[in-house]
Structure 1
Amino acid sequence: MKKKFLFIEREGPIIRENTTQVIFYPGVFSFLYRIFSELDYELVIGTNQEGLGPENFWPIQEYIMKTFEGEGIYFSSVHIYRTLAKENASTRKSCTDMLLTNYDISNSFFIGDIITYVLLAKNLGCKAIWMNKENCHPSQELNPLISFETVFWKQIYEYLKFGLRCYTNRRITNETDIKIYLQLYGTGKTNIHTGLGFLNHMLEQIGCHGKFDLTIKVRGDLHIDEHHTIEDIGLALGATFTKALGDKKGIVRSGYSILPMDDSLAKVAMDLGGRSHLVWKVNFVREKIGDVPTEMFSHFFKSFSNTAHCNIHIQAEGKNEHHKIEAIFKAFARTLQMIIRRNINSDELPTTKGML
């Protein structure tokens, strides 16, 4: 069976660019060791040294390799790009001849901090992990090739061990048509269109404060009223969350958040124990906030709990109704973020029953 590889650019992900001393990237030793010892990847290192680079290249390279070996980390091969750009050689980074062919390329990854590695992934048909330290924006052509984007080795290890944890869901009834994309390891990017402006604003809080990438597109029977749209979004979002989360091994499972917003204070506690239940201790004076009936907020969270199979306890107090419900959604997002966090040292289900 062919092995998977992690091809890692030396400058950037492994060492910082510096002409006078070697500075290793934070976390590279501890988490690259975990990847090397726990996961089924061979490690390959690459470095761009046009014309072979500075005179002290070899002493520095030997020091880097011996340091990793001292930490129990071994690279299967080293690729040095010696050619100049004007030579247009097939062994340069964006080409493919520099790599060995005895790998499972489609399930392998390149890790780099420049867009050239995404281009190499495109040419080879493998995946790219982009350490986007400059917060750049890739072209539309290259963006789909980036499997994961981060600046932390810990998150790379978690991604390679647990997967991306994302899911695309569509729920169609005679009353609503709902499309949801959810990525639990996200950056808080949202694209929400429900037909209800205030509901859009609340769902954006879930993505932003939970650091989930969340897209929701809805066509609902708003010509009748808001009920079916809000209820079905809660049902669809809970189901999407469950699918994205997966087997629940190693997760925290339960937690809470207390969040103030000016005059208002919200408390949210949750347990992903497999049982659906909502306790709602919130009173509203107004019939509507924006274009959303206040009676539908509890219904939204009950619908979510039904399909996410979780307990949710929500309390809030305050004078301003907008602040009160927004604090609830923010606390809900923070609690979700807390309880899905995985313990990287354990693959055990957090239960004595043996199942969740």
Structure 2
Amino acid sequence: MAKRILFIDRDGTLINEAPPTYQLDSFDKLTFFPHMFEYMRRIATEMDYELVMVTNQDGLGTDSFPEHTFWPLHNLVMKSLEGEGINFSAVHIDRSFPHEHLPTRKPGIGMLKDYLNNPEYDIPNSYVIGDRVTDVQLARNMGCKAIWLNLEPDLGGSEIANTVDDLRQSTVALETTEWSEIYAFLKLGSRSVVHERNTNETKIRVELNLDGSGKAKVSTGLGFFDHMLDQIARHGKLDLVVETKGDLHIDEHHTIEDTGIALGEAFAKALVDKRGMERYGFALPMDEAEAKVLIDFGGRPWIVWNAEFKREKIGEMPTEMFFHFFKSFSDAAKCNLNVECRGDNEHHKIEAIFKAFAKAIKMAVKRDPFSNYLPSTKGTL
């Protein structure tokens, strides 16, 4: 079987960087990333990834960064890792300065060509773990995914905003600041599905990642409906793409109902293995409105709906269709839903329901990487 690799950056990932120079050239600057040892040891001992270190060390060996200031510290780092059972098969160090633009410098792949097009390695299912945009770019150039310890989330507001956004969409499998989340992600795997549902009335494509970060790209032809589906992604911390082309020239019914079915079917696919999952989940206020959504991904569909609306429509959505959406989702996802809401503002009421629904999903699909427990006495869900 081909080996999967974790290409791991050193500074800012395993050990903390040292502003303002970011040059780790003395022992008084050395501190390790919080909880790194605990979870790297688990990754190294419980999983079958090969560990490869890839690091840029600007000007190593020059007067500005003499080798005698680097190697003692680096050797201590490596021995400390080895002492915890964390063994790297190789360490690749680029010594160039950024302005030299050498192919060996991340995000260039010059140092790593032996891993590419080599049948011994499973590059598409490997990961680059790093803290810089260049680490994410390296993953894209390698043809694998990135786990981004993004300690500077405001990068997206700079002149490279479009590049960062594209990388998040195409290359970042996990964005976090915690090694515990990296371990959980690698241990449990990603619950991602692509699902299509096509009828004579609607054509629907759903991309769902239950372990995402809240990214959404929704297009149903109904603005308010798009806004509500976006709430599911944002507050459920899942990544969601929904593309619905329906017979809106007739009315909204098929578009809303079938989207609920397609989304529910996508959840059913993603939740095929429910071991370690919480299963249940939420009450949420929004201004004067109060919504309660209880959910159970127990394998049986049922819905209880206690919400009334005085307006015929909110945006382009008929209020009678809110029940149909959740009923369709419940049937297709094979889950129990208990929805209750009270309040005065109709917009607030339905938005509170969707947000509570998202929070309930987030709670219910959460998994414990230390547990292989199926949340049922029946032995199956």
Query: What is the CA deviation profile of residues 24-78 of structure 1, one whole-angstrom value per residue up to 9, with x for unaligned ones?
Result: 1223112211111111112222333333444321221122123223333222232
Q: Where do 1:1-356 residues align within 5 Å?
A: 1-18=1-18, 19=24, 20-49=28-57, 50-52=59-61, 53-54=65-66, 55-83=68-96, 91-93=104-106, 94-98=108-112, 101=115, 103-106=120-123, 107-135=125-153, 136=155, 137=161, 138=163, 144-255=170-281, 257-356=282-381
Q: Distance in 2 between matches of 1:236 and 1:157?
A: 31
Q: Partner of 1:157: helix, strand, or coil?
A: helix
Q: Distance in 1 between matches of 2:136 and 2:345?
A: 48
Gaps of 5+ in 1: none
Q: Is the 8 A contact 1:105 1:125 kept in 2?
A: no
Q: 1:3 to 1:187 in 2, by over 3 A?
A: closer
Q: 1:65 to 1:254 in 2, by over 3 A?
A: same
Q: Is the 8 A contact 1:189 1:207 kept in 2?
A: yes
Q: 1:140 to 1:336 in 2, by over 3 A?
A: closer
Task: Judge which range, 268-277 or 139-148, deviates more.
Answer: 139-148
Structure 1 residue 140 displacement after superposition: 8.1
- Counterpart of 2:158 in structure 1 is none
Q: Distance in 1 between matches of 2:242 and 2:165?
A: 21
Structure 2 letter corresponding to 1:11: D
Q: Distance in 2 between matches of 1:290 and 1:178?
A: 21
Structure 1 residue 139 displacement after superposition: 6.2
Structure 2 letter corresponding to 1:246: V
Overall identity of the aligned pairs, in % = 52
Query: What is the CA deviation profile of residues 326-349 of structure 1, one whole-angstrom value per residue up to 9, with x for unaligned ones?
Result: 111110000000000001101232
RMSD: 2.4
Gaps of 5+ in 2: 19-23, 156-160
Q: 1:96 to 1:308 in 2, by over 3 A?
A: same
Q: Tell me the TM-score normalized by structure 2.
A: 0.85
Task: Judge which range, 259-268 or 102-111, deviates more.
Answer: 102-111
Q: Is the 8 A contact 1:92 1:98 kept in 2?
A: no
Structure 1 residue 306 displacement after superposition: 0.5
Q: Is the 8 A contact 2:188 2:369 kept in 1?
A: no
Q: Is the 8 A contact 2:133 2:164 kept in 1?
A: no
Structure 1 residue 92 displacement after superposition: 3.8
Q: Distance in 2 between matches of 1:63 and 1:324?
A: 58
Q: Is the 8 A contact 1:184 1:211 kept in 2?
A: yes
- Equivalenced residue count is 355
Q: Tell me the TM-score normalized by structure 1.
A: 0.91
